[in-house]
A and B are shown apart, each in its own frame.
Chain A
């Protein structure tokens, strides 16, 4: 199984700030990464995907991937209280694909 590590947090940021969520992984085969957001009591939803080194921006979200360092991050600009959730990172397909998740990082955006 592919191992990912995230700081479980909680990460607390004020409204309007940049929230930085980080993830390291141990599997060198993975070519893509995904970020999922899970609100309390709800199932996860896919919010970002990144397939190559560098940055990928989508609205207020930017995913960053550094394959050499086996590091992936998610930046949330202009954080809003509605961004308060647990964020999960997961590697993508590579060989036998079995998506497993860690505990994720809990983000709290306070007004």
Chain B
């Protein structure tokens, strides 16, 4: 069945370095992918909406130069956290829609980022 994979599942990096997170839709083409961030005991915060072949649309307050999103194909989107700082430590989750949300969205397993 349709699955969304995410890699890596966890990463530890040093402050100032960049980290790339991959999100792939398996067995289906994702017209749209969404990136979320979730801090402990908080709700999912939508960071950006990504459509294949076009620039991502960022939510208010999300720095597009810091969180680079590339949606290179209908099955792959990447999020790069540039010059990461400890406050960027969070749980990053991607999700994908096959049909503009008509049948809901599928979430990847998430990536836990720790910046030291």
What residues of chain A have their CB less than 8 Å away from a CB belonging to chain B?
Answer: 32, 34, 36, 42-46, 49, 88, 90, 92-93, 97-104
B20 on the A face (CB < 8 A): no
Are A99 and B101 in contact, CB atoms less than 8 angstroms apart? yes
Are A45 and B107 in contact, CB atoms less than 8 angstroms apart? yes
B34 partner residues in chain A, CB cutoff 8 A:
98-99
Interface secondary structure of A, over-half rule:
loop
Of the residues A43, A97, A98, A104, contact of B107 by C-beta under 8 Å? A43
Chain B 88-116 interface mask (CB, 8 Å, partner A; 1/0): 00010101010111111111111000000
Are A97 and B100 in contact, CB atoms less than 8 angstroms apart? yes
Are A99 and B95 in contact, CB atoms less than 8 angstroms apart? yes
21 A-B pairs in the complex with CB atoms less than 8 angstroms apart: A34-B105, A43-B93, A44-B93, A46-B104, A46-B105, A46-B106, A46-B107, A49-B103, A49-B104, A92-B101, A92-B103, A97-B100, A98-B34, A99-B46, A99-B95, A99-B97, A99-B101, A99-B105, A100-B46, A103-B43, A104-B43
B12 on the A face (CB < 8 A): no
- A-B complex: 8 closest residue pairs judged by Cβ atoms: A97-B101, A93-B101, A43-B110, A34-B104, A103-B43, A43-B107, A101-B44, A93-B102
B75 on the A face (CB < 8 A): no
CB within 8 Å of A: which of B25-42? 32, 34, 42
CB distance from B105 to the nearest CB of A (A): 5
Residue in chain A with minimal CB distance to B102: A93
Residue in chain B with minimal CB distance to A106: B41
